Amino acid sequence: MERNRILNTDLSGEDVASEGSLRPNTLKEYIGQEKVKKNLKIFIDAAKMRGEPLDHVLLYGPPGLGKTTLARIIAYDMGTTLKSVSGPAIEHPGEMLGVINKLSNGDVLFIDEIHRLDRQVEEAMYSAMEDFSADIIIGKGETSRPIHLKLPRITLVGATTRAGMLTAPLRDRFGVVNRLEFYTDQELQTIVKRSAELLEVSIDAEGAMEIGRRSRGTPRLANRLLKRVRDYAQVRYDGAITLPVAREALNLLDIDTFGLDATDRKILEMMMRTFGGRPVGLDTLAVSIGEDSGTLEDVYEPFLIQRGLIKRTPRGRALTALAYEHMGVPVPEDIY
Ligand code: ADE
């Protein structure tokens, strides 16, 4: 279906070009995810003290919360090199082993969407992660023979939006497992102020808060909205972002005060009108809004739950009173 570009948490071309310059390089510069940072700092410091590579790290949570950024920071802090690949793009075990074999001891291999690895590629990862080796067959037919390949001692950083989709043998091989949470409005305000400084845009505290509040708890969106509001401030005003300027620009972009996009609102409306506020199963809801149920579960639902607009019940997803109030619809007396 047509996706609302501005609130889509996928990386866009513009993000790829500019996220690099806005991304923090060290844990110190990284705002939010306090628990994850505290954990990582201890494990990184301990590995450095022992002169060993860091244990494998699994990062999971909704898109746009900083999984790639953290992988970069781990490599930077460990003083090693980062190699990034997309899980589903690697089709054969040999391809993956080739990537690993080119790395040096201590390097970080970042595998995005690791839950979508090809099964045979995944199986090859088990001994690569555990023993830093691989048993492969070379040659064909009668001349084929098995060889034991020694691989560099790398740190694998795996990222997934769905930890539940990982097989147990793969999940068990990660020594460090961290879940990324949505950012608070204050954290996003700080990120927006930091990015504005790097982009040399003038912004006041209220303007930064307004952008933060409407960013779906997601730094990737906060940075994208900041750039669009900057454009608006430049063309309509003197370039400075204040609360009224941010409000006007964000209203024009059709982002509501909770940071909900068109799909979020469609989900709430569908639950209100078509299903009369009764609990509805995830798959039924996905079909009715024309979304893939995985996307609904990984991208939309976590934020709507976090904002207290929908809740999980034994009989399906149900609306809260807040959802009715937010959509300007009277709360039914027999609300589930
Ligand atoms: N830019 C994007 N995410 C960030 C974060 N968590 N901290 C600082 N800057 C960021």
pLDDT digits (tens, 9 = 90+) for 91-106: 999 999 999 999 999 9
Choosing from 160, 161, 218, 263, the catalytic residue is 161
Region of poorest pLDDT, from 27-36, 162-171, 303-312: 162-171
More confident residue, 5 or 230: 230
67 in catalytic set: yes
CA 148–ligand 1 middle distance (angstroms): 42
- The answer to whether residues 212 and 186 touch, using CB atoms and an 8 Å cutoff, is yes
68 in catalytic set: yes
Beta bridge partners of 70: none
Model confidence band, residue 254 (pLDDT cutoffs 50, 70, 90): confident
Ligand 1 atom with least separation from CA of 220: 2
CA distance 123 to 52: 25
Q: CA angle, corner 155, sides to 106 and 145, nearest 5? A: 90
Query: With 60 as the cut, is the pLDDT of residue 5 above it?
Result: no
CA distance 199 to 227: 9
* pLDDT of res. 2: 43
Choosing from 9, 15, 23, 68, the catalytic residue is 68
Which token pair is 57?
Answer: 């790290």
Q: Within a 13 Å sphere around the CA of 334, how many CA atoms are in the beta-carbon half?
A: 4
274 in catalytic set: no
- Tell the residue nearest (CA) to atom 6 of ligand 1: 31
Q: What percent of the chain has pLDDT over 90?
A: 79
Query: With 60 as the cut, is the pLDDT of residue 231 above it?
Result: yes
Pocket probe mutation, ligand 1, options 15, 16, 22, max atoms within 8 Å of Cβ:
22
For residue 35, the tally of other CB atoms under 10 A from its CB is 11
CA 22–ligand 1 middle distance (angstroms): 7
Ligand 1 atom with least separation from CA of 194: 9
CA distance 15 to 251: 22
